[in-house]
A and B are shown apart, each in its own frame.
Chain A
Amino acid sequence: MHKKMAFSFPDEVLEHVFSFIQSDKDRNAVSMVCKSWYEIERWCRRKVFVGNCYAVSPRMVIRRFPEFRSIELKGKPHFADFNLVPDGWGGYVFPWIAEMAGAYPWLEEIRLKRMVVTDESLELIAKSFKNFKVLVLSSCEGFSTDGLAAIAASCKNLKELDLRDCEVDDLSAHWLSHFPETYTSLVSLNISCLGSDEASFSALERLVRRCTNLKTLRLNRAVPLDKIANILRHAPQLVEFGTGTYTADVRPDVYSDLAGVFSSCKELKSLSGFWDVIPDYLPAIYPVCSKLTSLNLSYATIQSPDLIKLVSHCPNLQRLLVLDYIEDSGLEVLASSCKDLQELRVFPSDPFGAEPNVSLTEQGLVAVSLGCPKLQSVLYFCRRMSNEALVTIARSRPNFTRFRLCIIEPKTADYLTLEPLDVGFGAIVQYCKDLRRLSLSGLLTDRVFEYIGTYAKKLEMLSVAFAGDSDLGLHHVLSGCESLRKLEIRDCPFGDKALLANAAKLETMRSLWMSSCAVSFAACKLLGQKMPRLNVEVIDERGPPDSRPENCPVDKLYIYRSIAGPRFDMPPFVWTMDEDSGLRLS
């Protein structure tokens, strides 16, 4: 009477089926169907994603997934990008590399975000993984060009070396020469963050020349304009290119040389770089503009007329990063020229100036929202906003998935009515049903959080600053946002009650950051004591939190779920609230 279950195929069949399932979410779901699926899935998972490096230990990962080839790790909380996380907080990758070096000689890909990577780690990677192919370091720090030299010298099969927004100690540009002359497998190289004086141009040129599969090349600022032509000449197959400094004395021979090589790059889809750009040399890229889908002009300090001219040449643009020099007028042109636009980021040219230096207002964002039917992701810095504009934006663009608005002056009201912007952001969450990421700014009361808790059911990440009146605001978000994974809050009057009333919610999220809020040390201790699967970290550079009264608010609080227990690599200004913290300070 032993019924064979319908899904007891041979393991190989299931494995083959699972091989088509790439996303982590789906893989996790598959692993929960039954014990045998769990087992099969874990043996054939090739890519592991760890959203918080402290949520699990390297050993646990290795034990569960014995044969992965690719790992992605994230370290510091997002607010570290804005200097809110003190140096030395943590996020060290070395323990991971050390464990994997022993267990996985066949590891191929490492992707890290906001982690501290030392030269020692890089050297260990170079030494341990014979088939190492991909290294992507995003917003990482702690290493120098010596570590890069080790990678270059040893990783014979390296395909991708991508250093995005990293802080690298630039000891010598000659690390590039460590790629052996026999090495030709490079497909993607992004060194845009390197400071590098006297970049080793000849080594770079030789490298580009022999790596005929090179598709992505992002140079750093040190590469002068007249060297670009030499490099591009040898890589007409490039799909993505980032220039170095885009300024030089205006010389017709340099210009025509440059325009010539750009015309020969028939595959070019993405351009970036453009440091110090002068308008005279911009037309050199016109030959490739019609094919461009991505353009990063966020370092280009050119004015609106030149930006307008450039943008009008790019009808197929899907992604644009630009400074607010583009102004409302430029955004209007963008709205009428670039109907395929999906993502727009407008950065402030003078974020710390008291007065607006450009004519960029909410009108620009309205224009783009009205004119670009595929727009789904926006990051917009401006100095004024109105509920009316936000409602218009929400109504015309319900397909937003990421909406990040930064009104530069905190607590700025609707400039037309002087009211809070609750209704405007409320419209955004109400109409944009697929919204996954939202950043708020301007004058906001608890009401906006009520809207968010009520409507933003797909919201996964929320950033809040200088908003709200009371704990009710936080309570709305924690109790209403079903899909919430990451919540980061600064300078809001949220205290103990909402946090404690929604303690269990925190275990369903990746992390919560609260700084300059009103959460007391007592509440932190309680949370740490009662929620063993949460790491409750109090970050306070003023000194131990128990040197102040218990009801004193803590400076910074970082709470994240973890099955690895409290970490042991904390600096002196971080305290973990654990079960014993009621009795002593950890």
Chain B
Amino acid sequence: MELQLGLSLPSTPIFPFKMLDLNSYGYELREGLGPFGINVNNNCGSCSSSCSSSSSGGADDGGGGTKKRRLLDEENRIVPKTLPLLFWTNQRPNDEDEPKDVDDHSSSAIFKNDGEGLVGWPPVKAWRKKVRRRVANVRAAVENSCGGRASSSTYVKVKMEGNAIARKIDISLHHSFESLTTTLMRMFDISDENGQKSFKLTYLDREGDWLLAEDVPWRTFIRSLKYIKLIRSRC
């Protein structure tokens, strides 16, 4: 059971090698390369035929049965099943280690279970996260001190002129003034067309100005929105 370091083309002779110590790769490999060493400059770049012609070593294909016929298409080259940089001993590796305890969730420092959730888990695509309504998400509705949208909260306070009770709306569910207005009308029970026409959508922006929503593009509106107010149209 010899260690084989045949990383070059199959026609290059492969020879036995001693077991590598994980901690001293560079030295041991260089030692063993010799004249039959791996031609690391043999970067098979442009064309498969140039690879075969520039392979070093003789016609000797004493490769221990691992030589395969050179094929034209570089991408479909058949390589021997295992050309190890390290010989697999078939023993259970890390025998000296304790088998992992099934209950031990934090056995390794590599697990990023920092309580805040793992990056990219569950594997739901980013854009899907944006459009989904968060069902039981009371947490997202926490009002922060400035009363408007902070980075984590997408809920915005909405008031209607003449109505004492303020409501809250999840602005991330809307992508147009049309859908926002429709929802607002429903929220405040303004069902008829006349009712809809008599209200104007205004908002308080980050700079503290009250602006007419219809004057700005949706993008601008979203970015600087802090409060929404429906006011009665005077015209």
Residues on A lying within 8 angstroms of B by beta carbon are 28-29, 31-32, 35, 38, 55, 60, 63, 79, 81-84, 139, 165, 167, 170, 193, 195-199, 220-222, 224, 245, 247-249, 275-276, 298-299, 301, 323, 347-353, 355, 357, 381, 406, 408, 410-411, 413, 420, 439, 443, 445, 463, 465-466, 469-472, 475, 479, 490-491, 493, 496-498, 500-505, 507-508, 516-518, 520, 522-523, 525-527, 529-533, 551, 553, 561, 563-565, 579, 582
Contact = CB atoms under 8 A, between A and B. Distances in A.
Interface stretch (B54-62, B103-111, B143-151, B201-209): B103-111
Contacts, number: 229
Given A504-B83, A565-B45, A32 B102 contact: no
Interface in B201-221: 217-219
B123 interface: yes
Nearest to B185: A249
A490 B118 CA distance: 11
Contact of A224 (B97, B117, B182): B182
30 contacts: A38-B72, A79-B120, A196-B175, A224-B182, A249-B182, A249-B191, A301-B135, A349-B133, A350-B134, A350-B135, A413-B102, A465-B123, A466-B111, A469-B100, A470-B92, A470-B94, A479-B82, A493-B100, A500-B85, A501-B82, A503-B85, A507-B79, A518-B110, A522-B25, A525-B25, A526-B26, A532-B42, A563-B74, A563-B75, A565-B43
B45 A563 contact: yes
Chain B's interface size range is 35 or more
B122 A351 contact: yes
Given A530-B85, A582-B26, A249 B119 contact: no
Given A63-B46, A491-B112, A193 B176 contact: no
A170 B84 contact: no
Contacts of A522: 22-23, 25
A327 B81 CA distance: 45
A529 B20 CA distance: 15
B79 A504 contact: yes
B93 A497 contact: yes
A579 B81 CA distance: 23
Nearest to B178: A224
Contacts of B177: 197-198
A500 B86 contact: yes
Contact of B76 (A32, A516, A525): A32
A564 B182 contact: no
B203 to A, nearest CB: 14
B33 to A, nearest CB: 10
Given A299-B131, A350-B136, A357-B136, A31 B73 contact: yes
Nearest to A561: B75
- Central interface residue in B84, B175, B177, by most chain A CB within 10 Å: B175
A35 B72 contact: yes
A504 B81 contact: yes
B40 interface: yes
Contact of A348 (B88, B124, B173, B176): B124
B179 interface: yes
Interface of B: 7, 22-23, 25-26, 29, 38, 40-46, 71-88, 92-94, 97, 99-100, 102, 105, 108, 110-112, 117-129, 131-137, 173, 175-179, 182, 185-186, 191, 217-219
Contact of B122 (A79, A83, A406): A406
A350 B117 CA distance: 14
Contacts of A491: 110-112, 118
B68 to A, nearest CB: 11
A352 B87 CA distance: 43
Contacts of A298: 128
Contact of B99 (A220, A351, A469): A469
Nearest to A35: B72
Given A31-B72, A139-B125, A351-B122, 7 more contacts: A198-B217, A301-B132, A443-B102, A497-B22, A505-B81, A505-B82, A579-B40
B178 A529 contact: no
A29 B71 CA distance: 11
Contacts of A508: 78-79
B136 A353 contact: yes
A347 B124 contact: yes
Contacts of A507: 77, 79
